[in-house]
Chain A
Amino acid sequence: MKSNNVNPIPKVKISNLSKIFGDKPQDMLLHVRNGMNKADLLANHGHVLGLQDINVDIQASEITVVMGLSGSGKSTLIRHLNRLIEPTSGEIVIDGKDIMKMSKDDLNLFRQNKMSMVFQNFALFPHRTVLQNIALPLQVRGMVETERDQEAEKWLERVGLSGYGGYYPHQLSGGMQQRVGLARALASNCDIMLMDEAFSALDPLIRTDMQDLLLELQKELHKTIVFITHDLDEALKLSDHLVILNNGAVVQQGEPQSILMNPSDSYIEAFISDINRARVLRVRSVMTALNEGEVYAGDVYVNDNLESLITLSEGDTKHTYRVLDNDVAVGQIDMGTIIRALVPKVSDKNNPIL
């Protein structure tokens, strides 16, 4: 949780990025700048507005989650980061380099060394064994076989698949295949990892497993991860920085807890109205300042969720707890505050998507 830290130089800086699909994207850009919306652009000009004026700063060593419903442009956005899709306008600066200015060879080197990717449908090579799949990024770079196999073996073990190196992808279950996909991305040892709906094709239990695996690996590896999802629970669980897209534009971005507490418009409110707030909200987001002379029923930690507090209180609404951050008291929380925090904020009853 580093987004509260002041970090002036983002790892990846996306500025004014727009993408229009069609024959004459540059001409259409003028219409969009003059305020034409996605539906009108499609109806009157036959062009699809993919992304509109995206500005996102992605900090190093954080998980940035881009969330939106299907068609919101999130997969388009992530493919701009390694230029699998060329933008219509705007720039993307990664580690101080504008990737739009790279030649084809530079771009290939950049993809080999800076950025790896995990795909929704795994996209493993069916004709190569699991080990050969994981070793792929190293092979592309020209590492010799014994060396890259050793390295691949290490990552295979790291994702919990030791002994499966000689199997072919189709012999593994979906969850195992995506572990291979993850190991392949990690083996490249790139700073930045792009994950395009990486866990969306898995069933819920395995998805939770994979999320835990990712968080566990991230504790150790501190990669800069851009994670795409349409699942809000997944987004809230993983994200340090949450970007919500709708119709190709950013609706709100920020620290997930603050988005939950202060949704910027009715779209976000509707979006977050269905989630289990008790499980997602943390003590630090709702705690109040320490009040001298208060009697505490016990100690809780800043990153505990409200659900665990409710369990701790056994339903007694009169308790007040002391909040600790690394054994230093930083605030207090009473059950009344918790109950109030659980009420979703609704500003507009005529919500468009409810």
Chain B
Amino acid sequence: MAFYDDIFNIFGLRDWCNEKTSDVPMSMSELLAKTRGESVTASAEVFPFPSLDNLNKACSAMPRTREMTAGVEDGFLNIKDSLKVVLDPITQPLSWFLDGALYVFTSIPWFILIPMLILSAWYVSRSLSVTILVAFTFLGFGFIDHLNVAIQTLSIVFVCSTICVLFGVPIAILMSKSNAFERVTIPILDLLQTLPSFVYLIPLIFLFSITESKLYGIAIILYAIVPVIRLTNLGIRLVDKDVIEAANAFGMSNRQKLLGVEIPLALPNIMAGINQTIMMSLSMVVIASLVSAPGLGVLVLRGIRNLELGVGLIAGLGIVLLAVVLDRTSKGALTRINKSQHQDK
């Protein structure tokens, strides 16, 4: 006798319950009990919570929790193929970009690549100290034979952050213009931001082949696109109302307002968002090494798997260094924009 037997009896559901009887053991303890020839006894609890498992004990027509998660899985597997037909071609360019960038960056010889990185750091930040930091970092990577893996990580971050900006900024502009769209988007952004980063990988593994680079590309983009959307939306909404009123009073069209007033004035916030997006794609690229993303993350993984302390630690510190370099360079660009805009009122 299970605790909830009476409830099903009162409502006259006993026949319905008995329609489907199964004594397949569902847990290890049930299995053990069965092999020992004992019958499964009612829960020892005085008043068990009416959970699916406990209700199932009283009425075998009720699904068990395990059947529920299996249902979710079946549901996903059922739509998987049709989903794949749609998603596969759409996301295919992402694989090309990632593979292309990896190929290009890793095949440039070091004596061209390192000066190129130093020059672009100077171009973006216009700061001598940042440029020197970049120079020492990459020379250091080269010295300890980590340049190639570091460049792999860097090129994935580069491709993914660029795509985040290309999609994130237009989405944010729509959000800033439409309160209804903002209300719909914000819960999705909250979900993307709080979903544990490993969970991104689970459905993707089912959808795409693990050898395809878009698998980790999508995971990184979904994870890293949030800050650039949030901060661009915020930046546009924070533009001084007086200035917008002046733009209206002089008959500026929506397009002129957006390109000539709102985006330039929101630029500091947009740049802060891009900085955060770069940081988050760097953190995700390490986790994505679980699904064959190349780079420093692979070495971290090797350190964990083979207990190679030194390898893991050095790769981990290398990621920190890469993060510092990317952060300082993009922040350098941000301060440069702030200065040229003179928004220090």
Chain A bound to chain B? yes
Contacting residues, chain B, for A297 (C-beta < 8 A): none
- Are the CB atoms of B249 and A84 closer together than 8 Å? yes
In this assembly, does B45 line the interface, its C-beta being within 8 Å of a C-beta of chain A?
Answer: no
Q: Which of A121, A126, A140, A168 contacts B251 (CB 8 A)?
A: A140
A137 CA to B260 CA in the complex, in Å?
12
- Are the CB atoms of B343 and A119 closer together than 8 Å? no
- Are the CB atoms of A126 and B250 closer together than 8 Å? no
- Are the CB atoms of A127 and B265 closer together than 8 Å? yes
Stretch at the interface among A32-40, A103-111, A286-294: A103-111
Which DSSP category, helix, strand, loop or mixed, fits chain B's interface? helix
Q: Contact flags (1/0) for A5-45 with B, using CB distance below 8 Å?
A: 00000000000000000000000000000000000000000
Contacting residues of chain A (110-127) with chain B, CB-CB under 8 angstroms: 110-113, 115-117, 119, 121-127
Contacting residues of chain B (174-196) with chain A, CB-CB under 8 angstroms: none
Contacting residues, chain B, for A127 (C-beta < 8 A): 264-265, 341-343
- Are the CB atoms of B343 and A111 closer together than 8 Å? no
A209 CA to B251 CA in the complex, in Å?
29
Contacting residues of chain A (124-179) with chain B, CB-CB under 8 angstroms: 124-127, 136-137, 140, 168, 170-171
Contacting residues of chain B (142-180) with chain A, CB-CB under 8 angstroms: none
Contacting residues of chain B (227-275) with chain A, CB-CB under 8 angstroms: 240, 242-243, 245-246, 248-253, 256, 261, 264-265
| With A111-B249, A116-B250: A140-B342 Cβ-Cβ less than 8 Å | no
- Are the CB atoms of B250 and A119 closer together than 8 Å? no
30 CB contacts below 8 A, A to B, read A84-B248, A107-B251, A108-B252, A109-B251, A110-B251, A111-B248, A111-B249, A111-B251, A112-B250, A115-B249, A116-B249, A117-B249, A119-B245, A121-B242, A122-B242, A123-B242, A124-B243, A125-B265, A126-B240, A126-B243, A127-B264, A127-B265, A127-B343, A140-B256, A168-B342, A170-B342, A170-B343, A170-B344, A170-B345, A188-B250
Q: State the 8 A-B residue pairs at the shortest beta-carbon distance, nearest first.
A: A111-B251, A112-B251, A123-B246, A117-B249, A123-B242, A108-B251, A168-B342, A127-B264
Min CB gap A103→B, angstroms = 13
Contacting residues, chain B, for A109 (C-beta < 8 A): 251
- Are the CB atoms of A123 and B251 closer together than 8 Å? no
A126 CA to B249 CA in the complex, in Å?
17
Min CB gap B258→A, angstroms = 13
Contacting residues, chain B, for A171 (C-beta < 8 A): 342
Question: Which B residue's beta carbon lies closest to that of A107?
Answer: B251
A108 CA to B252 CA in the complex, in Å?
7
**Chain B residues at the A interface, C-beta cutoff of 8 Å:** 240, 242-243, 245-246, 248-253, 256, 261, 264-265, 341-345
In this assembly, does A253 line the interface, its C-beta being within 8 Å of a C-beta of chain B?
Answer: no
Contacting residues, chain A, for B341 (C-beta < 8 A): 126-127
Contacting residues, chain A, for B253 (C-beta < 8 A): 108
Min CB gap B52→A, angstroms = 47
- Are the CB atoms of A125 and B243 closer together than 8 Å? yes
In this assembly, does A82 line the interface, its C-beta being within 8 Å of a C-beta of chain B?
Answer: yes
- Are the CB atoms of A137 and B265 closer together than 8 Å? no
A111 CA to B242 CA in the complex, in Å?
16
Min CB gap A310→B, angstroms = 44
Contacting residues, chain B, for A137 (C-beta < 8 A): 250
Min CB gap A143→B, angstroms = 13
- Are the CB atoms of A126 and B261 closer together than 8 Å? no
Min CB gap A62→B, angstroms = 21
Contacting residues, chain B, for A82 (C-beta < 8 A): 249
Contacting residues, chain B, for A122 (C-beta < 8 A): 242
- Known A122-B242, A127-B341, A140-B250; 16 more pairs at CB < 8 Å: A84-B248, A84-B249, A107-B251, A111-B251, A112-B251, A116-B249, A117-B246, A117-B249, A119-B245, A119-B246, A119-B249, A123-B243, A124-B246, A127-B264, A170-B342, A188-B250
Contacting residues, chain B, for A107 (C-beta < 8 A): 251
Contacting residues, chain B, for A110 (C-beta < 8 A): 251
Summed over the interface, the residue pairs from A and B with CB atoms below 8 Å come to a total of: 66
Contacting residues, chain A, for B265 (C-beta < 8 A): 125-127
Of B261, B342, B343, most buried by chain A (CB within 10 Å of CB) is B342
A121 CA to B245 CA in the complex, in Å?
11
- Are the CB atoms of B248 and A126 closer together than 8 Å? no
Contacting residues, chain A, for B345 (C-beta < 8 A): 126, 170
Question: Which A residue's beta carbon lies closest to that of B241?
Answer: A123
| With A127-B265, A127-B341, A140-B256: A119-B251 Cβ-Cβ less than 8 Å | no
Q: Contact flags (1/0) for A86-115 with B, using CB distance below 8 Å?
A: 000000000000000000000111111101
| With A126-B343, A127-B265, A168-B342: A136-B242 Cβ-Cβ less than 8 Å | no
| With A127-B265, A170-B345, A171-B342: A117-B250 Cβ-Cβ less than 8 Å | yes
- Are the CB atoms of A136 and B250 closer together than 8 Å? yes
- Are the CB atoms of A125 and B242 closer together than 8 Å? no
A126 CA to B246 CA in the complex, in Å?
12
Q: Which of A111, A121, A168, A170 contacts B250 (CB 8 A)?
A: A111
A140 CA to B251 CA in the complex, in Å?
7
Contacting residues, chain B, for A123 (C-beta < 8 A): 240, 242-243, 245-246
Min CB gap B256→A, angstroms = 6
Question: Which B residue's beta carbon lies closest to that of A82?
Answer: B249
Contacting residues, chain B, for A115 (C-beta < 8 A): 249
Contacting residues, chain A, for B240 (C-beta < 8 A): 123, 126
Question: Which B residue's beta carbon lies closest to that of A111?
Answer: B251
Min CB gap A227→B, angstroms = 15
Min CB gap A282→B, angstroms = 34
| With A136-B250, A140-B252: A126-B342 Cβ-Cβ less than 8 Å | yes
A119 CA to B342 CA in the complex, in Å?
21
A125 CA to B240 CA in the complex, in Å?
10
Min CB gap B286→A, angstroms = 38
Min CB gap A180→B, angstroms = 12
Contacting residues, chain B, for A116 (C-beta < 8 A): 249-250
Contacting residues, chain A, for B261 (C-beta < 8 A): 125
Min CB gap B338→A, angstroms = 11
Min CB gap B254→A, angstroms = 9
Question: Which B residue's beta carbon lies closest to that of A136?
Answer: B250
Contacting residues, chain B, for A125 (C-beta < 8 A): 243, 246, 261, 265
